[in-house]
Chain A
Amino acid sequence: MIDIDKLWFSWQGHTGQPTLSIDALHIAKGEHLFLHGPSGSGKSTLLSLLAGIQTPQRGSISLNGTAIETLSAAQRDQFRADHLGYIFQSFNLLPYLSPIENVTLACAFSKLRRQRALAHQTSLNEVAHTLLTQLGLAPQFHQQPVNTLSIGQQQRVAAARAVIGDPEIIIADEPTSALDEANRQAFIELLFAQTDKTGATVVFVSHEQSLAPLFSKVVHLDELQGGADDLA
Chain B
Amino acid sequence: MILLKLASKSLLNRRASVLLSLLTIAISVMLLLTIERVRMQAKESFAATVSGTDLIVGARTGDIQLLLASVFRIGHMNNGVSWQSYQDISSKKGIKWALPLSLGDTHKGYAVLGTSGDYFHYFQFGKKQHLSFSAGGPFAQANEVVLGAEVAKRLGYGLGDKIVVAHGMGKTSFHHHDDKPLVVVGILAATGTPVDKTLHVPLIAIAQLHGAEAVQVEHHEHSDHEQHHQEADDLIGEPKQISAFLLGFDSPLYTLQVRRNINNYQAEPLMAIMPGVTLRELWGMLAMVEKLLLLFSVVVLVVSLLGMLTTLLANLSQRRRELAILRSVGAKPWHIFSLMSMESLLISLLGTTFGVALCYLLLALAQPQLQAQAGINIGLQGISRYELMLIAVIMAAAWIVGLIPAVRAYFYSLHDGMSVKT
Residue from B2, B12, B321 within 8 A of A96 (CB atoms): B12
**A109 & B331 in contact (Cβ 8 Å cutoff):** yes
Residue of B nearest to A173 (CB): B418
Cβ 8 A contact of A108, one of B13, B329, B419:
B329
List CB contacts (< 8 Å) of B329-373 with chain A. Answer: 329-333, 335
User: How far is it, in angstroms, between the C-alpha of A77 and the C-alpha of B2 when the chains are bound?
Assistant: 17
Q: How far is the CA of A47 from the CA of B418 in the complex (A)?
A: 9
* Docked complex: A51-104 residues within 8 A CB-CB of B: 51, 53-54, 73-74, 77-78, 80-82, 84, 86, 88, 91-97, 101
Q: Is the CB of A48 within 8 A of B418?
A: yes
> CB-defined interface of A108-131 with B at 8 Å, one 1/0 digit per residue?
111000000000000000000000
Smallest CB gap from A91: residue in B: B321
What is the CA–CA distance of A86 and B329 in the complex, to the nearest angstrom? 7
Asked if residues A105 and B329 are in contact (CB atoms below 8 Å), the reply is yes
In the assembled complex, which residues on chain A have CB atoms less than 8 Å from the CB atom of B332? 73-74, 77-78, 109
Residues of A near B10 (CB, < 8 A) are: 94, 96
| Residues on the A chain within 8 Å of B419, using CB | 44, 47-48
Q: Indicate if the CB atoms of A81 and B9 lie closer than 8 Å.
A: no
Q: Is B417 among interface residues, defined by CB-CB distance under 8 A?
A: yes
Contacting pair A88 B324 (CB below 8 A) = yes
Are A109's CB and B9's CB within 8 A?
no
In the bound complex, how far is the Cα of B1 from the Cα of A108, in angstroms?
9
Q: Residues of B contacting A77 with CB < 8 Å?
A: 327, 330-333
Min CB gap A215→B, angstroms: 22
Cβ–Cβ contact B417 & A92, under 8 A: no
Q: Give the interface residue-count category, chain A.
A: 20 to 34
Q: Which residue of B lies closest to A87 (CB)?
A: B328
The docked-state distance in angstroms from the alpha carbon of A50 to that of B329 is 14
Cβ contact within 8 Å between B417 and A51: yes
Q: Does A106 contact B (CB under 8 A)?
A: yes
Whether the Cβ atoms of B325 and A93 lie closer than 8 Å is yes
CB distance from B376 to the nearest CB of A (A): 47
Which of B6, B326, B329, B335 lies at the interface centre, i.e. has the most chain A CB atoms within 10 A of its CB?
B329
Q: B420 within 8 Å of A by Cβ?
A: yes
Interface assignment of B238: CB less than 8 Å from any CB of chain A: no
Chain A residue contacts of B6, Cβ below 8 A: 94, 96-97
- Known contacts A53-B418, A88-B420, A94-B322; is-contact A106 B329 (Cβ 8 Å): yes
CA–CA, A134 and B335, complex, Å: 31
**Which residues of B sit under 8 angstroms from A82, Cβ to Cβ?**
330
Determine whether A32 belongs to the interface, using a CB cutoff of 8 Å to chain B. Answer: no
Given contacts A88-B324, A95-B13, A96-B13, contact A109 B329 (CB under 8 A): yes
Smallest CB gap from B415: residue in A: A53
Enumerate chain B residues within 8 angstroms of A91, measured Cβ to Cβ: 321, 420
Bound CA–CA A186/B26 (angstroms): 52
Q: Which of A54, A78, A84, A95 contacts B417 (CB 8 A)?
A: A54
Q: How far is the CA of A82 from the CA of B332 in the complex (A)?
A: 13
Could you tell me the distance between the alpha carbons of A54 and B417 in the complex, rounded to whole angstroms? Answer: 8
B window 1-24: CB within 8 A of A = 2, 6, 9-10, 12-14
CB-CB under 8 A from B329, the residues of chain A are 81, 86, 105-106, 108-110, 161
Residues of B within 8 A of A51 (CB): 328, 417-418
Q: With the chains together, A105 CA to B329 CA distance in Å?
A: 7
Q: CA separation between A84 and B9, bound complex, in Å?
A: 25
B113 nearest CB across to chain A (Å): 69
Which residues on the A side are within 8 Å of B321 (C-beta)?
Answer: 91
Interchain CB contact (< 8 A) of B330 among A81, A95, A96: A81
Cα(A82)–Cα(B331), bound, Å: 11
Determine the chain B residues whose CB is within 8 A of the CB of A80 once the complex forms.
328, 330
Instruction: Tell me the bound Cα distance from A47 to B330 in angstroms.
Output: 15
Return chain B residues, CB-CB under 8 Å to A97. 6, 9
* Residues B12 and A86 in contact, CB atoms below 8 Å apart: no
The residues in B between 383 and 422 inclusive whose CB is less than 8 angstroms from any CB of A are: 417-420
**A51 nearest CB neighbor, chain B only:** B418
Shortest CB-to-CB span from A125 to chain B, Å, is 14
Q: Give the distance in Å from the alpha carbon of A53 to the alpha carbon of B330 in the complex.
A: 10
Q: Which residue of A lies closest to B416 (CB)?
A: A53
Nearest neighbor of A101 in chain B, beta-carbon distance? B9
Q: How far is the CA of A81 from the CA of B331 in the complex (A)?
A: 7
Contacts of B333 in A (CB 8 A): 73, 77
Q: Which 10 A-B pairs have the closest CB atoms?
A: A81-B330, A53-B417, A96-B13, A109-B330, A86-B328, A108-B2, A77-B332, A96-B9, A106-B329, A80-B330
Interface residues of A (CB under 8 A from B): 44, 47-48, 51, 53-54, 73-74, 77-78, 80-82, 84, 86, 88, 91-97, 101, 105-106, 108-110, 161
A-B contact pairs, 19 of them (CB 8 A): A47-B419, A48-B417, A48-B419, A54-B417, A73-B332, A74-B332, A77-B330, A77-B331, A78-B332, A81-B330, A81-B331, A84-B330, A86-B329, A88-B328, A88-B420, A94-B322, A95-B322, A105-B326, A109-B329
B binding-site residues for A, Cβ under 8 Å: 2, 6, 9-10, 12-14, 321-322, 324-333, 335, 417-420
A88-B328, A109-B329, A109-B331 known; 15 other A-B pairs, CB under 8 Å?
Answer: A44-B419, A51-B418, A74-B332, A81-B329, A81-B331, A84-B330, A86-B328, A91-B321, A94-B6, A94-B10, A95-B322, A97-B9, A109-B332, A109-B335, A110-B330
